[in-house]
Amino acid sequence: MYTNEENKMKIRKRLKNVLFSVLILCVSLAISASAVFAWFDLRNDSDLRGFKINVTSKDVSNVALKTYAISDITTGAQTDYTLAIKDNNYVPLHEVPVFDSLGIALNDYKTSLAINLTFSVHKDATYAVYAEAAEQVILGTENWLSNCARFLPTNFSSGILTSSDVPKSFVTVQENTLSKTQRIEILRAVCTQGEVSFWFVLEYHADAVNIIKAANSEAEEETIFYSNDIRFEMIAL
């Protein structure tokens, strides 16, 4: 039989072991959390309502450029992007969700953005839409949207955008660096008189992101910030 004092000592020892185990668990969880969140390597501080389009045709009016959230992506011979819906309306979104190469970020929507360009045509013609980047290639943590994004022209049907085209990007991956062109053609189409709607998708250029990430592997700042430097132009050909 143990005395009261011996029982108290045994209880204190067990309590001490439990507290030590909890402390070790807390430290382990803290280390795990920091390791996970270090993967969230892109953050968008720019408001994409800043997108602007310049139209060089007197036969076009009522131009509008809007951006929407994407709720699902299905890949295969073609890629389908499903527009997010709330209260029977497409969900407007003004920033690209956080880049998430591991699929663990708490994004409400997919890491792509649907862009809808609408306008009125007063004369039949072929129109081309171009994207222009205002800034050059840089590999730092303070970066530009044009260095890590690409565009996909799509066909729209019942809330689904379908693309089988090759993505259009300002940057080209060359070994461990990027080269860049300042102007790219996103799409062209013959438009007849009336209301016209073009849809395309903006998504991350994963290979370019990896180059930028690798260039900053030794940096103290783990997050890459980027600002919107992309402008659009539509011309009659």
Give yes or no: residues 159 and 176 share one domain.
yes
Q: How confident is the model at residue 49, as a pLDDT?
A: 57
37-46, 142-151, 193-202: lowest mean pLDDT where? 37-46
28-32, 132-136, 171-175, 188-192: lowest mean pLDDT where? 28-32
Give yes or no: residues 8 and 107 share one domain.
no
Tokens of 72: 């699902």
Start-to-end Cα distance in the chain: 99
DSSP bridge pairs for 20: none
Give yes or no: residues 64 and 97 share one domain.
yes
Query: Domains in the chain: how many in total?
Result: 2
Question: What's 84's DSSP letter?
Answer: P
Give yes or no: residues 148 and 174 share one domain.
yes
Distance of CA 216 to the CA centre of its chain: 19
Q: How confident is the model at residue 15, as a pLDDT?
A: 44
Percent of the chain with pLDDT over 70: 74
Show the domain range for 16. Answer: 1-37
Give yes or no: residues 116 and 198 share one domain.
yes
Give yes or no: residues 1 and 86 share one domain.
no
* Mean pLDDT, residues 86-105 taken together: 79
Residue-averaged pLDDT of the chain: 79
Confidence of residue 99 (pLDDT cuts 50, 70, 90): confident
